[in-house]
Amino acid sequence: MIERVRAFWNDDETSNGQRVAVSVIGTVLGSLITVGVLRLPAALSGSGDRSGSDSTAVVNGTHEPDAARPTTSTGTVAEPGTTVSTPVDSTSFTVVELPSTVDVSTTVRQPASVSLFSLDAQSGGWGREPMSINGQRYLEAASYASCSGSSTREVTYTLSGAYSTFSGVLGMRDETPAGAASIITIATNGTQILIQEVRPNQHFPFELDVSGANSLQLTVKAAGDVDCDSGEGPAIGNPQLH
């Protein structure tokens, strides 16, 4: 190949323009070889037989013996022209700058559940104490002796839209005499969402949607012909807001 180039250069028929073009091409190729972009075959580069211990490879534009060649992550010698990257240290980390202020304008979430009795009543109130409803004991419960006549009792609690459900159990205290009856009404923002008649030896679990409600009203109205004494009558057990 080199001999052919020399013959072309020395040929009398070769013009000066052609010689300039060859010279430019040679300069460009030489630059590419120097920076390692272009590799010459072993026969032209003079590196010798690569199968032996004296074999060389171009590393960053420089001919290096195999012993000096970089290795891959698996420990094998990298082939010529292979880009070898060093793994990032596992202890490296990126520092993220946090904002100097945090927006706390969003609504603060309430606990998973709270007892209705932990809220202050706007008006009224039931007698609150541990009691049994249809054989089940409740430590959080309330009742009101309203079983006959025109007796009515109402209590209102403020929710301020902070809860989504209201649950509990309705019934009569176990001490209530047979024949007694009452109607318990539950309302939010003045709208009734549950009306339940209760009698002795009955219980009615409930779970109501109170999302967005600002107020919760519980009303008890007598519905039987048997009077209730203190410690008897309609009751609500384990009233919880979620």
Domains located in the chain, CATH noted:
2-68 (no CATH), 114-241 (2.60.120.1060)
Length of the chain: 242
**What is the reported pLDDT for 151?**
78
Contact present, 211 and 164 (Cβ < 8 Å): yes
**What is the reported pLDDT for 58?**
46
**What is the reported pLDDT for 36?**
53
pTM of the model: 0.54
**What is the reported pLDDT for 194?**
98
**What is the reported pLDDT for 120?**
80
**What is the reported pLDDT for 231?**
86
* Residue 221: other Cβ atoms inside 10 A: 17
**What is the reported pLDDT for 163?**
96
Give the residues of the chain that fall short of pLDDT 70. 1-111, 123-127
Give 71: exposed, middle or buried? Use CB within 10 Å, 0-12, 13-18, 19+.
exposed
CA pair distance 116, 103, nearest whole angstrom:
31
241 beta partners: 114, 166
**What is the reported pLDDT for 52?**
44
Backbone angles phi, psi at 21, to 5 degrees: -65, -45
* Residue 112: other Cβ atoms inside 10 A: 7
**What is the reported pLDDT for 148?**
74
